[in-house]
Chains A and B, each alone.
Chain A
Amino acid sequence: MKFGVVQFPGSNCDDDALQAIRTVIGQPAEFIWHQSEDLGGSDAIVLPGGFAFGDYLRTGAIARFSPVMKSVERFARSGGLVLGVCNGFQILLEAGLLPGAMMRNQGLRFLCRQVHIRVEQTDTPFTSAAKPGQVLEMPIAHMDGNYFCEPATLAELERNNQIVFRYVAASSAGKNSENGQPLEAADQEANPNGSLQAIAGICNRERNVLGLMPHPERAVESPLGSADGLVIFRSMVQSLTGKPEQHEAQKIHSAVRV
């Protein structure tokens, strides 16, 4: 399957995503220029992290008007897989492909560190290879990751099981939170940016568009901190190729040089 990684002016995790997909996941991937409306026959689209158009006005506010986004929107509406990471998530929100908005981090500072997120839904094409309640370690690196939406939207997200990842404490594996239930104290503390309901990632109702603030493409090689991000790419590959899930992540890791 072929991945298309969109390049906006100011994208800076585009190379990282391409590299992760090509050399670690072992799938073909190509860049797609923001002014192109041709997705080059991609089977899945990645909107990478960075500062598209310098984050001027608001994060993602200008990028959503790029010619490429018309095609991405068509692609998404027709059921194509779209993964938005960090700035890519912000663009998906601005484009209306996902509901809600991003506010500045609660502490008003840029945050870069490893966090733990729990897989709240495994019936999405992005998390099908994960175990329910699995806790993944991945880095965040953002200034505006404080997710917010109206109560009605939140209720809908919960009702439709669209909250895919939550920030949790490392110890929270397996403890799938009930929608609407308050989070445990340890998990609340683990929320790095004040995000509503500790939301780290959501999908659309149709489950083919996912946005998350943590960077799975930075978490594909253990020597660099974590390889937990692999599960997202592997889920995507599996759901598109229909191949059975490989429980051989170790094999992939050890093939990767530091």
Chain B
Amino acid sequence: MIDTEIKVTPEIAAEHGLTPGEYARTQKILGRDPNFTELGIFSVMWSEHCSYKSSRVHLKRLPTTGTHVVQGPGENAGVVDIGDGWVAVFKIESHNHPSFVEPFQGAATGVGGILRDIFTMGARPIAVLDSLRFGPVVAGPGAGDATKQEIASNRHILDGVIRGIGFYGNCFGVPTVGGEIVFEPCYSNNPLVNALALGICKREELFFAKAQGAGNPVIYVGAKTGRDGIHGASLLASAEFSEESQQKRPNVQVGDPFLEKLLLEACLEAMRTGAVVAIQDMGAAGLTSSSSEMASRGGLGIEIDLARVPQRETGMTPYEIMLSESQERMLLVAERGREREVFDVFHKWGLDAVEIGKVTEDGMLRVKNHGVVAAEIPAHAIAEEGPRYERPIATPAEVAAKKTAGAAAQFKFAAVGTELSENFRKLLAAPTIASKRWVTGQYDSMVRTNTRFGPGGGDAAVLRLKESKRALALATDGNGRWGYLNPRLGAMHAVVEAARNVACSGALPIAATNCLNFGNPEKPEVMWQFTEVLDGIGEACRALETPITGGNVSFYNETLGKPIYPTPILGVLGLMEDAECALGSAFRTVGDVVLLLDGGQAEARAGAAQEFGSSEYAKTLQGVVAGMPPAIDLAAEKRLIDCLVALAGARAIASAHDVSDGGIAVTLAECCFDTEGLGVQAEVKTMASDEAAEAALFGERGARAAVTVPSASLARVNQIAAQYKVSVQNIGTVARSEFRIQYNGSPVIQGTVESFQRPWSDSLQKAIEIE
């Protein structure tokens, strides 16, 4: 055992983020004090980011099995069966902290990391979606008390993040097909960058990260190891931000999408030789996590010699090599005697491939440097025996107050008969509602020629499968404001909205992945939010039969002690039997009838006014964030979803768009925008006798979707809807260029489509590039 220069003391352990209890645990596992390298290894692997120490006991409550599930949580990504011998591999992951410290590289490496998770399983990535949250980029009631400086900083972060996403995905050659961008004051200085990747492969081509066969060679492939990203997982991702956080820029990794593209092709080609036994990417905690986790999963050990690791800097210590988070690297186990086949493939692609060690029987992660042991720890202890906490939970007082305050007291409804066109334009220009085309136009959304519906085309992204008749649909969703007002309801809404979007595109939701973004779990109120959210996701996913197949938890999203809204992001995957049945959201033909489908039977409900305080409209127009998210009826959501899938399958409808942010008015407007001059004549009827026009037009109650139908198909649609017990309300017709909504007989919104589209199309670009 070499004695590295730095002697480990309890103080140094504390600097590494280990509590005294955790430090004592390392001593117990080793039967001695850890040396400096070993301390580094424990500190990253037992960080919140890698060990899930605060969340693991709760995550067990999520449903993770189902008819389509091939692989649930625990591998690099989830796997579901999509028929004809093919599987879909998908997962969402956060890269929030790095994206705040260095927006461009933070977002770029977020995309790079999730792509590796997919192809390390043998699947070729076919799509990426990004769920992004930023602080306000324009002033106004919806920006809360964001300062000018904050707004400027948020614009800078947004610009860097979208450039980073484009930089990586465009070069790698995967289409960025969807996602969402939402703005709330709580994300100032703490943006969320959650990237979801989807890949496909034959079921028998799947690879797992489980070391097998003592004596088999351990091979390092891909980029050389440098000093970047050291402690990315532990110091960046597992701690709150203070004023000095910008100084952590050297902890952010640097991405090279070209190298990753080569790594993708080389890995898939190497896997096809049959000489690869197991493979895992070096993501968070780099060489440490890939080696110890592969060994641990296989119940074996791994011994490596760091002197053989390709390095791009001289004089790196074992500590630095083990903790580096340099990107575009993989660790694989090959079959002894067939190393040459693996080397040949990687050399063909101009990549390093070096045997750095072997699989052993003794269960130890043994790290040597020039033959001298630098670290020696039971692999299972690092990977699986980390601390697990049942952290204290407490209902926060603030939320309770918000609940009882109600919206009626805070949101001032306009007088009866008020013309709402101008308010509507303001809502359409709100960055959360506004067109994201300026952003998504910077992403290659078409490469690989599978994109049936890309950004803005439909409620979900739809990818046809060249290998079969089928198509896959994907959507992400999550409303942090609702999570804040009621975490459990907010989480349920995230699930049902993503699923509803998938159904609107014509696909049946079959599985989900989640990214759980929260504040500091050491605060009992944050833990309360977390457990509430898990219960909400669990309940909704069970009801919709969309098990969770993977994802990640991101805690410590706090800057200067201010946590973000609890923001669960759900990615829902849908399967469409016939790609030709895919539906877009845009209106198609003048004269088509617009129907409002309602899984909830359109009955009047108590509490609708109170719910309005949680709407995008209330926030944008009056800065009100109060009351409760809309009540949720999971059975109604399921009915609507099944009905939409049946309607699409029967080719009975021409378009479908769900009712969500901004209510039915925004839904109808979005159906008109970016068409060849189509408009709508609609009549929205009251739900309850005293319902305000604003509540009816902009209320965000779920389980609803607007579909268009050629009049010849009306009877068929009514018949199918009746089968699924979904109510149908004829609310208007597709018109030419005029946009008109009446409420209880009197016009409340009217103008040319163009006059509403302009504020919607321009606002985001104006905020970032012009102002």
Contact = CB atoms under 8 A, between A and B. Distances in A.
Contacts of B171: 10, 12, 51, 54-55
Interface in A195-226: 215, 217-218, 221, 223-225
Contacts of B546: none
B735 interface: no
Contact of B442 (A55, A111, A221, A223): A111
B170 to A, nearest CB: 6
B452 A110 contact: no
Contacts of B471: 258
A135 to B, nearest CB: 16
A113 interface: yes
Contacts of A119: none
A224 B451 contact: yes
B449 A257 contact: no
B452 A223 contact: yes
B448 A258 contact: no
Interface stretch (A13-21, A88-96, A123-131, A172-180): A13-21
Interface string B246-290: 000000000011110110000000000000000000000000000
B516 interface: no
A56 B171 CA distance: 11
Contacts of B442: 109-112
Interface residues of A, number: 32
Nearest to B469: A257
Nearest to B261: A10
B325 to A, nearest CB: 21
Contacts of B262: 9-10
A16 B582 contact: no
Contact of A16 (B257, B349, B449, B464): B449
A148 interface: no
Nearest to B351: A9
Contacts of B450: 224
Interface string A1-44: 00000000110110110011000000000000000000000000
B447 A10 contact: no
A217 B448 CA distance: 10
Interface string B333-376: 00000000000000001100000000000000000000000000
A167 B254 CA distance: 36
A15 B447 CA distance: 10
Summarize A's interface: helix, strand, loop or mixed. mixed
A54 B256 contact: yes
B443 interface: yes
Contacts of A218: 446-447, 449
A108 to B, nearest CB: 10
B447 A9 contact: no
B207 to A, nearest CB: 21
A12 B173 contact: yes
A53 interface: yes
A111 B446 contact: no
Contacts of A139: 446
B724 to A, nearest CB: 25
A109 B164 CA distance: 12
B150 interface: no
B447 A12 contact: yes
B35 interface: no
B258 A56 contact: yes
B392 interface: no
Contacts of A54: 171, 256-259
9 contacts: A10-B262, A16-B447, A20-B449, A111-B442, A112-B443, A141-B447, A257-B469, A258-B464, A258-B471
Interface of A: 9-10, 12-13, 15-16, 19-20, 49-51, 53-56, 109-113, 139, 141, 143, 215, 217-218, 221, 223-225, 257-258
Closest 4 CB pairs of A and B: A12-B173, A54-B258, A258-B579, A51-B171
